[in-house]
Amino acid sequence: MSTIFSQIVEGEIPARIVYEDEATAAFLDANPLSPGHTLVVPKAEYEQLDDVPADVAADLYDTIHRLVPVVEEAVDADGTTVAFNNGEAAGQEVPHVHCHIVPRFEGDGGGPIHSMFGQRPDLDDDELDDIAADIESRA
Ligand code: 5GP
């Protein structure tokens, strides 16, 4: 069973496609958070970011990089929030990697991504050192 985004890419269900190339496609979100809310996907199905091979990741970033200023211009936005919900725990609903380009406007009340989090963890220096060392050793 292919994902809803694969069905869009295949033309099996309608969408307002705004860009496509060999490896990627972009279309308007059906339930936009703001005017111009655009989703960018790899045409091939990968569920999460770490499933995406490096060459496709590069193509995906190229499309994001191309579209961010274009979307901003199209809706006269003051900025954009550009984000992936990566994994169910992060709120990902469609299991096909997609980047949200959400146009932002002065005074739109949306806040930064920091505003999604209530209480922040109280980490001491040792804990931060351990986390940094762990990430560095795996990177
Ligand atoms: P997620 O929560 O997985 O990061 O975001 C999925 C996004 O896909 C949501 O913003 C939702 O509005 C959008 N979406 C879900 N189904 C469809 C669809 O059939 N067509 C389009 N264009 N967008 C969809």
- Mean pLDDT for 87-101 is 98
- Residue 102 backbone class (left: φ over 0; alpha: ψ -120 to 50; beta: rest): beta
pTM score: 0.97
The mean pLDDT value of the chain amounts to 97
Question: What is the Cα–Cα distance from 114 to 101, expressed in whole angstroms?
Answer: 17
Residue type, 130: D
Instruction: Provide, rounded to the nearest whole percent, the portion of the chain with pLDDT above 90.
Output: 98
Burial class (CB in 10 A: 0-12, 13-18, 19+), 127: exposed
pLDDT at position 1 = 77
- Mean pLDDT for 68-89 is 98
CA of 114 to the centre of ligand 1 (A): 22
Residue 76 phi, psi dihedral angles, 5° rounding: 55, 45
Q: Token match 């960018």: residue? A: 40
All domains in the chain, ordered by first residue: 4-138 (3.30.428.10)
What kind and span of H or E run contains 83? strand 79-83
Taking residue 14's Cβ as centre, other Cβ atoms within 10 Å add up to: 10
pLDDT at position 127 = 98
CA of 126 to the centre of ligand 1 (A): 40
Residue range 14-66, pLDDT digits in tens: 999 999 999 999 999 999 999 999 999 999 999 999 999 999 999 999 999 99
Ligand 1 atom 17: the closest Cα is on which residue? 30
